[in-house]
């Protein structure tokens, strides 16, 4: 058999039709185009009283209906819009407090069999330099991220190709977890590996579950099926709308109970995509009792030799971007919301208070770009172009100056606070109690091991404020926290509640 024949055989056996239809209502999927379009039409010219009723529901941490979210999408009154922004920020504080989680993307392979017209990784893009990192190269990337930068969480990214199938993904996760690096006072290591990869069958997802995966992300790109089918060539794996649509259902059945959904904004009308994400969250809640752990909302960015990405047909400007983030926070109030370095640093500063909970920093998206200083950001090794290339130290400092505590906590996954458990804790606000304590411990650890002097000074002010607040809010817990805090200050690492 030739390599090309092997790849064709792999493609032909990739999709398992019964792992789509088992979740469907006959021949109907959960994306109801008529319901979305109808809600968008009915939501025009919303009554202010109705809008305020909907905001109250969000503040009670209840998932909105499609009609309720559509109403918010059409708010134009400036004063009402300010109320929406304030409510979104308050929802975030009630569920997640003032914590912001940081992570880094790690691209391990850019071979891909698909032909998405907006993607630099598409198979026919001859300008893309293809590479699959070896396990030693992965460890070297990890040493930089964990030992020099100070990250504790990664999102690892792969193209869809037999060279980076589930077995390679499992091996790469093991390689990342194997790395420990000495630091100023302790050691650096990656404690949670989240994965952004192609949809998989249940048996392969179980392998990733067993190796210790964190959140599994699959973005639908666009929920509008005619647009999806036009942008993803027929006959490719990704051309199958339903196989991708039910990827998260298969994850939950496989035992991966932290799942991340998203849309690529710029492919179709942004209001439609917001409601598509909401219908996705509702279907997961109804079938499994668990909504998405995270929602992502990247905008399409330019990519090497990819004309479509240079001029997308449904451009989302900065004002619309702020609106979609706000409505997503209000519509799915329990979920984590990821604001990526695709966006400019100044815009991220403006958008963050609207309810975001996670940001990446020190991001490089070329294959092997963290360890390979000479070629770190060459376009022909990237999927798209980044907008914010600030270091983790710079981002943490800005967050501290804005009153946020950067959380490097990964305890929830290892303590079993995932899936249904974490959903219940998030809805009640109780998860924030655990996370606030762990945020303090992990921030102390990071400041001691990695912070510049300027960042350390800003961070110490935040820590002092947080410790004083915990002493008042949780007096019974404070002595135990203080003892753990002292251990971390003396060099103990990975201490958590």
| Chain segment 356-388, per-residue pLDDT in tens | 999 999 999 999 999 985 554 444 556 678 999
What's residue 413's pLDDT?
65
pLDDT digits (tens, 9 = 90+) for 400-415: 999 999 999 998 666 6
Q: Place 453 in a pLDDT band, splitting at 50, 70 and 90.
A: very high
Would you state the pLDDT for residue 269?
Answer: 98
Classify 304 in phi/psi space as left (phi over 0), alpha (psi -120 to 50) or beta. Answer: beta
Q: How far apart are CA 192 and CA 412, in angstroms?
A: 10
Q: In the prediction, which pLDDT does 376 show? A: 47
Q: β-pairing, 153-158 with 358-360?
A: unpaired
The closest alpha carbon to 159, from 128, 190, 135, 205, belongs to: 128
Domains and CATH numbers, the chain: 16-24+99-392 (3.20.20.70), 33-89 (no CATH)
31-71 tens-digit pLDDT = 999 999 999 999 999 999 999 999 999 999 999 999 999 99
Let me know: does 362 contact 149? Beta carbons within 8 Å. Answer: yes
What does pLDDT average to over the chain?
A: 94
Angle between helices 270-288 and 247-254 (to 10 degrees): 30
Report the pLDDT value the prediction gives residue 256, as an integer from 0 to 100. 96
Predicted pLDDT at 243 = 98
Whether the CA torsion 363, 368, 370, 376 is positive or negative: it is negative
Q: What is the pLDDT of residue 4?
A: 73
The answer to whether 194 touches 153, Cβ cutoff 8 Å, is: yes
Q: How confident is the model at residue 421 (pLDDT cuts 50, 70, 90)?
A: low
**Number of neighbours of residue 389 by Cβ within 10 angstroms:** 14
CA gap 185, 399 in Å, rounded: 23
Is 22's pLDDT higher than 50? yes
What does the pLDDT average to over 208-228? 97
What percent of the chain shows pLDDT beyond 70?
93
Is the pLDDT at 420 greater than 80? The verdict is no
Higher pLDDT, 1 or 111: 111
pLDDT at 231: 97
326-353 average pLDDT score: 98
Q: Does residue 157 have a pLDDT over 50?
A: yes
Q: Does the pLDDT at position 118 exceed 80?
A: yes
Phi, psi of 310 (to 5 degrees): -75, -25
Q: Give per-residue pLDDT as tens, 79-89.
A: 999 999 999 99
The CA-based angle 174-177-179, given to 5 degrees, is 115
pLDDT band of 5, cuts 50, 70, 90:
confident
Question: Mean pLDDT lowest for which of 92-106, 255-269, 422-436?
Answer: 422-436
pLDDT at 117 over 60: yes
Q: What is the 3-state secondary structure (H, E, C) of the chain?
A: CCHHHHHHHHHHCCCCCHHHHCCCECCECCCCHHHHHHHHHHCCCCCHHHHHHHHHHHHCCCCCCHHHHHHHHCCCCHHHHHHHHHHHHHHHHHHHCCEEEEEEEEEEECCCCCCCCCCCCCCCCCCCCCCECCHHHHHHHHHHHHHHHCCCEEEEEECCCHHHCHHHHHHHHHHHHCCCEECCCCEECCCEEEEECCCCCHHHHHHHHHHCCCCEECCCECCCHHHHHHHCCCCCCCCCHHHHHCHHHHHHHHCCCCEEEEECECCCCHHHHHHHHHHHHHHHHHHHCCCCCEEECCECCCCCCCHHHHCCCCCCCHHHHHHHHHHHHHHCCCCEEEECCCCCHHHHHHHHHHCCCEEECCCCCCCCCCCCHHHCCCHHHCCCCCCCCCCHHHHHHHHHHCCCEEECCCHHHHCCCCHHHHHHHHHHCCHHHHHHHHHHHHHHHHHHHHCCHHHHHHHHHHHHHHHHHHHHHCCCCHHHHHHHHHHHHCCCCCCCC
User: 390: closest CA among 371, 362, 369?
Assistant: 362
Q: Which of 221, 219, 297, 204 is nearest to 256 (CA)?
A: 204
Q: Which two tokens stand for residue 446?
A: 């990071």
Across 207-218, average pLDDT? 97
Q: Given this model, what pLDDT does residue 377 score?
A: 47
Res 330: pLDDT: 98
Please report the pLDDT score of residue 385 as a whole number.
80
Kindly tell me if the per-residue pLDDT of 220 is higher than 90: yes
pLDDT band at 497 (very low <50, low <70, confident <90, very high): confident
Least Cα distance to 371 among 217, 153, 141, 185 occurs for 141
Mean pLDDT of 3-9: 85
What is the C-alpha to C-alpha distance for residues 224 and 241, in angstroms, rounded to an integer? Answer: 10
CA distances, 84 to each of 88, 356, 432 (Å): 6, 14, 22
Closest CA to 296 of 361, 220, 353, 350: 220
């Amino acid at each position: 058999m030739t390599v090309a024949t092997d790849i064709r055989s792999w493609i032909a056996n990739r999709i398992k039709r019964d792992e789509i239809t088992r979740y469907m209502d006959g021949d109907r999927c959960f994306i109801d185009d008529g319901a979305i379009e109808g809600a968008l039409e009915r939501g025009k010219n919303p009554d202010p009283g109705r809008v305020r009723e909907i905001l109250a529901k969000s503040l009670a941490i209840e998932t909105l209906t499609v009609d309720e979210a559509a109403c918010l999408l059409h708010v134009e009154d400036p004063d009402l819009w300010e109320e929406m922004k304030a409510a979104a920020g308050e929802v975030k504080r009630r569920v997640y407090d003032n914590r912001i989680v940081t992570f880094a993307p790690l691209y391990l392979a850019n071979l891909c069999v698909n032909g998405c017209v907006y993607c630099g990784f598409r198979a026919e893009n001859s300008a893309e330099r293809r590479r699959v990192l070896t396990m030693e190269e992965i460890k070297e990337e990890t040493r930089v991220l964990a030992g020099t930068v100070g990250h504790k969480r990664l999102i690892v990214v792969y193209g869809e190709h037999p060279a980076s199938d589930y077995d390679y993904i499992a091996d790469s996760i093991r390689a990342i977890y194997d790395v420990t690096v000495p630091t100023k006072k302790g050691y650096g290591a990656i404690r949670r590996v989240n994965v952004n990869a192609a949809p998989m069958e249940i048996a392969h997802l179980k392998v990733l579950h067993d190796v210790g995966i964190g959140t599994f992300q699959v973005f639908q790109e666009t929920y509008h099926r005619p647009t999806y089918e036009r942008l993803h060539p027929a006959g490719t794996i990704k051309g199958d709308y339903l196989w991708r649509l039910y990827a998260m259902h298969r994850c939950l059945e496989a035992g991966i109970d932290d799942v991340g959904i998203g849309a690529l904004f710029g492919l179709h009308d942004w209001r439609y995509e917001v409601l598509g994400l909401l219908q996705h969250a509702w279907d997961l809640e109804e079938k499994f009792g668990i909504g998405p752990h995270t929602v992502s909302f990247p905008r399409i960015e330019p990519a090497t030799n990819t004309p479509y990405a240079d001029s997308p047909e449904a451009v989302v400007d900065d004002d619309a971007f702020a609106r979609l983030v706000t409505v997503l926070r209000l519509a799915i109030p329990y979920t984590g919301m990821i604001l990526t370095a695709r966006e400019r640093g100044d815009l991220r500063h403006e958008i963050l208070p609207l309810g975001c909970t996670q940001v990446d920093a020190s991001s490089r998206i070329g294959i092997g770009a963290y360890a390979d200083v000479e070629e770190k950001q060459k376009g022909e090794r990237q999927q798209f172009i980044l907008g914010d290339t600030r270091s983790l130290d710079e981002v943490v400092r800005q967050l501290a100056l804005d009153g946020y505590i950067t959380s490097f906590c990964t305890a929830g996954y290892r303590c079993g606070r995932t899936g249904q458990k974490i959903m219940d804790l998030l809805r009640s606000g109780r998860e924030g109690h655990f996370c606030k304590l762990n945020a303090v411990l992990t921030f102390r650890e990071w400041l001691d091991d990695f912070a510049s002097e300027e960042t350390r000074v800003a961070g110490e002010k935040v820590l002092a404020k947080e410790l004083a607040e915990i002493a008042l809010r949780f007096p019974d817990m404070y002595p135990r926290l203080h003892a753990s805090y002292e251990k971390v200050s003396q060099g103990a690492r990975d201490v958590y509640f």
